[in-house]
Amino acid sequence: MKCDASMFAQLYETVYQDLYRFALCLMKNGHDAEDAVSEAVVSAYENIGKLRKAEAFKSWIFTILANVCRKRLRKEAEKQKNQQPFDTYWEEAQEQPDYGLALDVRQAFFVLEEEEQLVIGLSVFGGYNSGEIGAMLKLNASTVRSKRKRALEKMECVLR
């Protein structure tokens, strides 16, 4: 697809809030979410020529963002594994609370496994149906529906 900066900006404008919300749910921190979205947008802009249809932009950029978030979370988990306990305490003490999400819902979301978080995030914040999520995550649509149902049940148990 041919795309100039102006067209990219128009496409991005339609999804930027949903991208941030999705990244915030996965990254657990506003600054990390902003960084992940920025990295995903740069990557999308650099690779816009690989996008075949403008209608697929939303799912395409969400896929890029999901991959960026996964990579960053893996990197952070590795860093945490190698870090001294005092360093972890100090970093947590330095973080500012996120008032954008209710604490109880946020805690329930983080009980979910990574794939369940992706399914719920894409469904709730991205507005994707099970077929679209399945295509992004390379899963069968019925598997996505099952994972979404189980994830929501887990969250419900935590919220009770």
Tell whether 13 and 46 lie within a shared domain.
yes
Last residue of a domain, one of 99, 122, 142: 99
Number of H helices, E strands in the chain: 9, 0
**Across 68-73, average pLDDT:** 90
pLDDT of residue 80: 73
Helices 57-81 and 16-27, packing angle to 10 deg: 20
Q: Which domain holds residue 154?
A: 101-160
Tell whether 64 and 117 lie within a shared domain.
no
The two most distant CA atoms of the chain are separated, in Å, by 51
Mean pLDDT of the chain: 81
Q: Which amino acid is at 100?
A: G
Q: Render pLDDT for 113-160 as a digit per residue (tens, 0 to 9).
A: 888 888 888 888 778 889 988 888 888 999 999 999 998 888 888 777
pLDDT at 106 over 70: yes
Tell whether 56 and 72 lie within a shared domain.
yes
Residue 28 Rama label (left phi>0; alpha psi -120 to 50; beta): left
Tell me the whole-structure pTM to 2 decimals.
0.62
Tell whether 55 and 23 lie within a shared domain.
yes
